[in-house]
């Protein structure tokens, strides 16, 4: 079946602009995660959604970062007033709620000039 | 809190030689352990996982890992590597009430002919 998909695959933006990154989880997966992969920080957890529960936002690095999940499926990660240190690959993953196994998408490479 | 240590940032090895990629974790609660592989310019793929039961787990492409609770380790091994195994390998832990994965810094396996 179809895996996790993310769009765009690459995004180049100018410092100070807002960006939106999209994630489509595997059909039927109710848990959705965002991670960031950067040279300096490695792989970091950002945010976790599970059904209608309040999301776990403990990994968001600043209030410029936000995410939402509409209809329990698609998720959008928004970065406002981007900074150069936001340059990274943003990875989305999904899982069945009763499973401990997360499946990752191909990522969105964000470059902030 | 959990943490993962991958001491080797890069492991060069000749084709058909055996390899071991080391992973140690720290946790005060029971954990689930994972190895993910990332091929160049691709997302993370699940290689194998330990959730419970047998401490030796295997992947379909010849890798295996053994959960050692006393040594808090989950080293990845393969008896004979191929050029196509060249990739970055990430060890990850998930434990307690948290749903996020904590990743190590990754080990680049570089297989040479």
Please give the domain boundaries of chain B with CATH numbers for all domains: 3-112 (2.60.40.10)
Question: What is the least distance, in Å, from the CA of A107 to any CA of chain B?
Answer: 6
Q: Which of A31, A103, A104 sits opposite B99 (nearest CB)?
A: A31
Instruction: Using an 8 Å CB-CB cutoff, list chain A residues near B34.
Output: 101
Phi and psi torsions of A8, nearest 5°: -75, 170
User: Any CB–CB contact under 8 A between A90 and chain B?
Assistant: no
Question: What is the least distance, in Å, from the CA of B18 to any CA of chain A?
Answer: 27
| A75 domain-assigned | yes
Residue A95: which CATH number? 2.60.40.10
CA–CA distance, B43 with B36 (Å, rounded to integer)? 10
Q: Which of B43, B99, B106 sits opposite A42 (nearest CB)?
A: B106
How crowded is residue B71: how many other Cβ atoms within 10 Å of its Cβ? 10
| A39 domain-assigned | yes
Q: What is the 3-state secondary structure (H, E, C) of chain B?
A: CCEEECCCCEEEEECCCCEEECCEEECCCCEEEEEEEECCCCCEEEEEEECCCCCEEECCCCCEEEEECCCCEEEEEECCCCHHHCEEEEEEEEECCCCCCEECCCEEEEEEC
Which tokens sit at B108? 């680049």
| A110 domain-assigned | no
**Containing structural domain, residue A56:** 5-103
Residue-level pLDDT at A1? 60
Instruction: Using an 8 Å CB-CB cutoff, list chain A residues near B42.
Output: 106
| pLDDT tens sequence for chain A (113 residues) | 689 999 999 999 999 999 999 999 999 898 999 999 998 778 999 999 988 888 999 999 999 999 999 887 899 999 999 999 999 999 999 998 777 789 999 999 999 99
| A113 domain-assigned | no
Question: What is the least distance, in Å, from the CA of A85 to any CA of chain B?
Answer: 18
Tally of structural domains, chain A: 1
| pLDDT tens sequence for chain B (113 residues) | 789 999 999 999 999 999 999 999 998 788 899 999 999 888 899 999 998 888 888 888 899 999 998 999 999 999 999 999 999 999 999 877 778 899 999 999 999 99
Interface contact A48-B49, CB threshold 8 A: no
Establish whether the linkage from the previous residue to A8 is cis, with ω within 30° of 0: yes
| A94 domain-assigned | yes
Interface contact A56-B103, CB threshold 8 A: no
Interface contact A56-B100, CB threshold 8 A: yes
């Amino acid at each position: 079946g179809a895996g996790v998909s993310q769009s765009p695959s690459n995004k180049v933006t100018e410092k100070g602009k807002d960006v939106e990154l999209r994630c489509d989880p595997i059909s039927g997966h109710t848990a959705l995660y965002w991670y960031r992969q950067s040279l300096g920080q490695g792989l970091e957890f950002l945010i976790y959604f599970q059904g209608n529960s309040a999301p776990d936002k403990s990994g968001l690095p600043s209030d410029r970062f936000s995410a939402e999940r509409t209809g329990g499926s698609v998720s959008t990660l928004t970065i406002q007033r981007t900074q150069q240190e936001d340059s990274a690959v943003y990875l989305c993953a999904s899982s069945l709620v009763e499973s401990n196994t997360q499946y990752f998408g191909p990522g969105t490479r964000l470059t902030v000039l | 809190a959990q943490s993962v240590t991958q001491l080797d940032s890069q492991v060069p090895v000749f084709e058909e030689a055996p390899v071991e990629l080391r992973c140690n974790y720290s946790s005060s609660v029971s954990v689930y352990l994972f190895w993910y592989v990332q091929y160049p310019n691709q997302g993370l793929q699940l290689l194998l996982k330990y959730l419970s039961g047998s401490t030796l787990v295997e992947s379909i492409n010849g890798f295996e890992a053994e959960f050692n609770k006393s040594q808090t380790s989950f080293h990845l091994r393969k008896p004979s590597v191929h050029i196509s195994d060249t990739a970055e390998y990430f060890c990850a832990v998930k434990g307690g009430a948290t749903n996020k994965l904590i990743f190590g810094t990754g080990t680049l396996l570089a297989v040479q002919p």
